[in-house]
């Protein structure tokens, strides 16, 4: 009973923000043909074509933020009500799976609506993330059931990974005091935006080339095989959740 309660409690935390997010995406999608017609009438559009891309990476970013804000209050409430760390963690996994599947379904609906909007005008071009990464086989929806299932599965694993990464960062930061949090945030910024670019510049971009080649390999971009990307994301999400379990096991209740 308690396990079921902590699942519902964690899931309920995301209901309102998820509904608002989905509504915003649909409003943006509905506004595009209106903008296109107005731009043709009043001729204020600089480009002859409106390119819509990245709408299905927006749910991944949204879920990452959901993960960042989902630990502290749930952890306190669970322990104060006699719910074990293990039960909290297991039910968090169920919540992650639920949100990832729901958002992947929503994304597929957005993809269908986006293609429908694009078909109304030659001035609108809609493309999803799989089209951009893996190209031709996802350019249209004519790839059949297997291509559609592959796309759906890729999105589920992608969303699980982003949500798990956000949750891991939240658990990790929870265990630190204020000075350590500031040091981590500043340290990340310095490494990502100062030290790495400087080293890369002195190495004539060899570092960024190695990083790109690694991402190309693990995501199967050159091979044009999303199954390689799915496999890599599964491994990465398992590592993220394994680390999360270790952090939760050692986390103390703070006031």
pLDDT score at 233: 95
Alpha carbon distance 169, 128 (integer Å): 28
pLDDT score at 255: 63
pLDDT score at 204: 86
Q: Spell out, as residue ranges, where the chain has pLDDT lower than 70.
A: 1-3, 42-48, 54, 136-144, 255
Sign of the CA dihedral 134, 137, 139, 140? negative
- Yes or no: say if 249 and 85 are a contact pair by the CB < 8 Å rule: yes
For 69-82, what is each residue's pLDDT tens digit?
888 888 888 888 88
Alpha carbon distances (Å) from 20 to 27, 32, 80, 83:
10, 19, 31, 30
- For residue 52, what are the β-bridge partners? 126
Residue 124 backbone dihedrals phi, psi, to 5 degrees: -115, 130
- Yes or no: say if 243 and 167 are a contact pair by the CB < 8 Å rule: no
Q: Where are the domains of the chain?
A: 1-175+220-250
pLDDT score at 160: 96
pLDDT score at 67: 93
pLDDT score at 166: 94
pLDDT score at 240: 96
Query: Structure tokens of 221?
Result: 């971009």
pLDDT score at 137: 65
pLDDT score at 175: 83
pLDDT score at 193: 87
Alpha carbon distance 131, 152 (integer Å): 13
pLDDT score at 45: 57
């Amino acid at each position: 009973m308690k396990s079921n309660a902590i699942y519902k409690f964690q899931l309920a935390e995301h209901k309102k923000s998820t509904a608002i997010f989905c509504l915003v995406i649909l409003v943006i999608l509905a506004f595009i043909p209106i903008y296109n017609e107005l731009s043709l009438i009043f001729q204020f559009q600089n480009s002859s074509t409106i390119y819509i891309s990245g709408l299905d990476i927006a749910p991944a970013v949204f879920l990452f933020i959901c993960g960042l804000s989902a630990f502290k209050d749930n952890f306190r409430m669970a322990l104060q009500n006699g719910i074990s760390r293990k039960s909290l963690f297991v039910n968090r996994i169920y919540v992650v799976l639920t949100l990832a599947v729901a958002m992947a379904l929503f994304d597929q609906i957005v993809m269908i609506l986006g293609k429908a909007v694009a078909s109304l005008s030659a001035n609108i071009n809609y493309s999803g993330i799989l089209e951009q990464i893996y190209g031709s086989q996802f350019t249209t929806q004519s790839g059949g059931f297997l291509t559609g299932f592959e796309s759906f599965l890729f999105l589920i694993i992608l969303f699980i990974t982003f949500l798990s990464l956000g949750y891991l960062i939240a658990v990790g930061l929870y265990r630190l005091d204020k000075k350590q949090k500031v040091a981590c945030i500043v340290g990340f910024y310095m490494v990502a935006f100062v030290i790495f670019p400087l080293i890369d510049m002195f190495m004539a971009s060899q570092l960024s080339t190695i990083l790109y080649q690694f991402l190309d390999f693990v995501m199967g971009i050159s091979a044009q095989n999303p199954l390689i990307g799915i496999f890599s994301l599964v491994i990465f999400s398992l590592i993220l959740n394994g680390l999360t379990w270790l952090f939760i096991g050692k986390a103390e209740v703070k006031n």
